[in-house]
Structures are given as structure tokens and as C-alpha cells.
Amino acid sequence: MTTAVLTAVGHQWEARLVTALESAPGLAVVRRCADLADLLAAASAGLADVALVSADLRSLDRAALHHLASHGVRSAGVAAPGDEAGERRLRQLGLDVVVRADAEPHEIEEALTGLQEADLPDDPFGPDGGNDPDTGDEAARGAAALTGPGAAVAPPGSDGWAPVEQSRIIAVWGPTGAPGRSTLALGLAAELAAAGTRTLLVDCDTYGSSVAQALSLLDEAPGMAAAARAADQGVLDLPALARLAPEVSRGLRVLTGIPRAERWPELRAAAVEHVLTMARKLAEVVVVDCGFSIEDDEELSYDTLAPRRNAATLTALEQADELLVVGSADPVGLQRLVRAVQDVGSIPSPTPQVVVNKVRASAVGGRPERRIAEALERFSGMDDLLFLPWDQASLDEAMLAGRTLVECAPQSELRRAVAAVASRYAVGAPEPVGRRRRRR
């Protein structure tokens, strides 16, 4: 069976590469693409099985490779002899196969045939982020590409953190109406760090990020937007992510959100997924503060190049190992909570742990926890609930100081309740009974 190939490579090696491809009996060049737009159009038309791209292809990024994979076209890189920087960029973009531009025809055929015969995963940029399963994450491969005379790999951070072997992503999500997603995410991350767990807090809210303001960080400081941009361009590695996520307290790093809501197109799904994949190597627990909306625009979902505002939240939920769904303890908030749990059950996400926030007798009557538990069990079948009390005074004090409850109000009732939630997810804590993962 002949493998149909698209080429989009630099002019210096194109002629020789095409000649080598045509000399291989199992390969056929169906189109020599002049630029990325031409390549994507040919892939969308179903003309080929494999695309060959070079590092100098203008505008080549992770989103473009995601578009090719979504149309069943596997991608391989082409690097000039001795071009270590170009090969590293291609591998950091998630390309497992990179051939030399001066390779013999049989070598190219063997590499592309093996790529074509490999099973295409459901998500080409899935949990491994397009990494080579034999050599680990692409940060390690990128570091390996730099090793040599006079080359040195920078440490992940100033504190000498080593890459983490195993980690968990905890997504904190909830419906509209400010139920306390950011409050819980920040409190949970702070408690885990205080318990000795290396923690990274990621603000992935594309509607109203607030972690930077809560910790008195510079609003315009590079954070998630810069990380996503670097991931898109194939230059995000572990040291780069560590520089973008400063340590705000011992054991706690923070990747701030976008400073303005209109910058949401910068957080594309493929880039966010790669950032979270790298985050797993930087911290033992990654806490993600998600936006409220999980609506998938059906019209835009067919256009894989069009940015979607909720793609960052949907990607975070899909990549998460644990999910906390937060709702506020008032009649309107509880109604939204019930519907939110039903909605999140229809998308790829872990089984949710429900957290009821702002619990107070003035909103639901005496013995509020019992009343809420009985109501939610009766109308929605929820029986495993966690409660956080209403403690606006402590939150105001922490916000005014730009610090966490651990630092500002360690003896407050709310802080103790958040610590009880964090104890479930600390490193070494047992897996919750009955916790399973939902996939579409």
C-alpha cells in the first residue's frame, strides 16, 4: 500500500527530499505545499496520510499539528543535518519522528511507514502530550537534544526542584454566580503546599481570572498566556515553565491567568493541554482554577482552527485526575449546583466531588449542613458532600493583605474546613473509594 505524503519544507532541501520520496516504492508525494495554509487545506481535503514539515515552516505551531491529526494526517519533521535547534523545536511541538533532510530513500520510507502503521490515538495530543513513550516527556527529549560539548541544561527552578515522576491534576470548577471556585482553588493549593506537597496553582479562567489579584501579584505579569504561547511555538520546557510560575510561598508556585478577558483566544486547547502536561513534571499536585462555562460551541467545534472560549476549561476538565465542583449554599446556588453536576457528567471529566461553599443558617435555616445534605440527596442523589462555612471576615482580611488563609487566618473556621478538604488530596492520601473516570 502506497503512503500519500504532503511536504511543506524549506526550499534548500525540498528538491532533494522530494526526489528521495519519489524514489521510495512505498511513498508518493501528492502535493508540495508552499505554506502552512496550503498544507492545512490539502489535509482537510483528505489528500494524504502523512505530512512532512520543517522547523522553518512559517506559523507552524501545536494548533496546526492538532488540525492535521484531527483529519487523520500524521505528521513527521524534517531537520537539516546538524540543525539541533530545529530538531528540538519539532520534538517539542510533539513530533516523535524527525528525519534528516539528507536521509536515504529507504530510511525515510521506513520512518514514515512505521508512523503510518502506528495507531492514531483518540486525542493526538492526549495525556502524553505527543511525547515519545520510550523516552518520557518531551522536555527530557528537548534537554537531550541540547546535550553535547558546551551545552548545559538549566535546573527547573531556583530552588533546585527535580522533575516529578508522578503527579495529579485537581480541577476546581463550578457554575456561574461566583460560588467560590478561586477561593477553594487558592485555599486548596496553599494547604497542600503547607503540608509539604510541591504544588502548582494554574489560573485557567477565561472569563474572570482573579488569582493574581488575590495574591497581590502583578496583573500584567506573564503567566498562563505566556506559557500557552510558548507551548504553541514549541519552546515550552520545564525551566521555561518554572520561570513563568514564580514561587509565592514555600512549595507553592502560581501560574497567573490572562489579565484581560478579551485575550481568551490565546488559550487554545492544544496549548493548554501541553502546559498541563508540563505542569505535571513541575509539581506533585497541580490545582487548576477553571472558568464556569463548559458549553461546547457546536458550530465552531467543526472548525478545528477556530478558537473556542471554553476550550481551556474543557481541556482542563478532561486532563484532570480529580474534580471538585463548587456551589454556594443558597436556594439559587444549590439549584445551579444540581444542574452543574448533571452538565459536567456529559463531558470527559473525573467523577465530581461536590463542595458546598458559603454555608450559613441565614440562607437556608437552622442546622444548614443537615438541611442542604437532605435536600441534595432527595432531589439529586448526592450523598458525599463537603461543606465550607461562610467566613467573609477572614476572606476580606486575606484579600486585603494579598495572602492566603494559611498565612493570614490560620485559626479561622474556613481555613480548617479547607484543610480538611486538602487532606483528601495530599501526596500519599488514599484514593477515594468509588472514584472512577468518565470519558466520552
Rounded-to-5 percentages of helix, strand, coil across the chain? 40, 15, 40
Q: Residue 142 above 90 pLDDT?
A: no
Percentage of the chain with pLDDT > 70?
A: 83
Q: Residue 411 above 60 pLDDT?
A: yes
Average pLDDT of every residue of the chain: 85
In this predicted structure, what is the pLDDT of residue 212? 93
Q: Which phi and psi angles does 382 have, rounded to 5°?
A: -80, 125
- Confidence grade of residue 399 (pLDDT, cut at 50, 70, 90): very high
In this predicted structure, what is the pLDDT of residue 306? 62
Pinpoint the residues of the chain covered by CATH 3.40.50.300.
Answer: 168-438
Q: Residue 220 above 70 pLDDT?
A: no
At the fourth CATH level, which superfamily is domain 3-125? Response regulator (3.40.50.2300)
Return the closest-CA partner of residue 223 out of 213, 212, 233, 215. Answer: 212
- Confidence grade of residue 188 (pLDDT, cut at 50, 70, 90): very high
Residues 168-438, CATH architecture:
3-Layer(aba) Sandwich (3.40)
State whether the Cα torsion 271-339-421-414 is positive or negative. Answer: positive
Q: Residue 229 above 70 pLDDT?
A: yes
In this predicted structure, what is the pLDDT of residue 128? 40
CA contacts within 13 A on the Cβ side of 112: 35
Q: Which residue has the higher pLDDT, 60 or 299?
A: 60
In this predicted structure, what is the pLDDT of residue 427? 77
Q: Which residue has the higher pLDDT, 433 or 24?
A: 24
pLDDT for 20-34, tens place per residue?
999 998 899 999 999
Q: Is 231 left (phi over 0), alpha (psi -120 to 50) or beta?
A: alpha
CB neighbourhood size of 213 (10 A) = 15
Q: Residue 189 above 60 pLDDT?
A: yes
Average pLDDT for residues 95-106, to the nearest whole number? 90
pLDDT for 344-357, tens place per residue?
999 999 999 999 99
10 close to 56: Cβ distance less than 8 angstroms: yes
- Confidence grade of residue 118 (pLDDT, cut at 50, 70, 90): low
93 close to 45: Cβ distance less than 8 angstroms: no
- Confidence grade of residue 336 (pLDDT, cut at 50, 70, 90): very high
String of DSSP letters for 218-269: -TTS--HHHHHHHHHHT---HHHHHHHS-EEETTEEEE---SSGGGGGGS-H
Written as nine digits, the cell of 88 is: 528540538
Pinpoint the residues of the chain covered by CATH 3.40.50.2300.
Answer: 3-125
Helices and strands, counts by H and E, the chain: 19, 15
In this predicted structure, what is the pLDDT of residue 431? 59
Least confident of 84-93, 323-332, 386-395, 423-432: 423-432
